[in-house]
Amino acid sequence: MTNRIPHGSPAGYEAGCRTRSACPHGDLSPWVTCAEASVRRRSDYRLWQLPLDQPIPRTGTVDDAPRAPEAPQPSPTASDLDAHGTLGGYRRGCHRDRLCPNWTIGRTTCAGARREYIREYRERRFRSEGHTITHGTTYGYYLGCRDRRTCPGGADAVTCSDAQAARKREIAAAAGIPPRVDPVDSLPASERVWALRAEGYSLREIARLTGCGHTTIAELAKTGSGRRSQITPETLQRILGSRVER
């Protein structure tokens, strides 16, 4: 398959023109090589905003530069044109929409054909066409059933997303990673801190008595929107179980 390479641009570098010596735009050309264009685009935010196939001049700005001369390219054969706009064209190396010949004539590109194939594939799997989805399993999750609202669930009413979450917890436990602890309401802890403050304890003294960090106590001592709304069960237990030394 033959693709027209936009030399002098980052797209040319991605299309395979990786060396300065092989690029038609040498040192005497008003345009940089594809390799130089790729480097400049990564280091210049203005160039980053331009299309990938925009040639970059050696001097001046892109807006002031004349149109880049097109390097001679062999004409595509009939079989090449027939392959474009298909999944086979994508598999043969036509991965970018703008580099596909179908892009300029408004037809489906090879990358577009692949996206459509993936979309239809997932829909067929979700409808249990082809390989049947066993809902309520991690296998169903990997086949595309990832929405708890639409998953019918298994015999135990577990959805595919729930099964995947449980599997992740099992893997974490096997690796020695402690399970995630859900936070609790911090209001009881704040009330305890407020009571200690009313008795004359400073924030530093409360932090020492409870074994909590000074920042945590300071955030719990606040009122209104600045107060921390949730804490861990361990922090709550430390604050409520603290003993007053005075």
- Tokens standing for residue 88: 């086979």
Dihedral, CA atoms, 130, 132, 135, 137, nearest 10 degrees?
-100
> What is the mean predicted confidence (pLDDT) over 213-222?
93
pTM: predicted TM-score of the whole model, two decimal places: 0.35
Residues ≥6 apart with Cβ < 8 Å to 228:
186, 216, 219, 220, 222
The per-type count for the chain, helices as H runs and strands as E runs, is 13, 2
Chain-wide mean pLDDT for the chain? Answer: 82
Closest CA to 135 of 122, 154, 150: 154
Residues ≥6 apart with Cβ < 8 Å to 75:
2
**48 or 110, which is more confident?**
110
* Gap between the Cα atoms of 114 and 106, Å rounded: 16
For the chain, the structural domain boundaries read: 1-67, 79-117, 184-240
Q: How confident is the model at residue 145 (pLDDT cuts 50, 70, 90)?
A: confident
Q: 196 vs 193, 201, 242, CA distance in Å?
A: 5, 6, 11
**Model confidence at 216: pLDDT above 70:** yes
CATH classification for the domain delimited by 184-240, as one of 1.10.10, 1.10.260, 1.10.1660, 1.10.3470:
1.10.260
* Gap between the Cα atoms of 210 and 229, Å rounded: 18
DSSP-assigned states of every residue in 114-170: HHHHHHHHHHHHHTT-SSPP-TTSHHHHHTT---TTT----TTS--HHHHHHHHHHH
> What is the mean predicted confidence (pLDDT) over 221-237?
90
> What is the mean predicted confidence (pLDDT) over 20-35?
83
Residues 98-144 have pLDDT tens digits of 888 888 888 899 999 999 988 887 777 666 666 677 888 998 888 77
Dihedral, CA atoms, 53, 54, 59, 65, nearest 10 degrees?
140
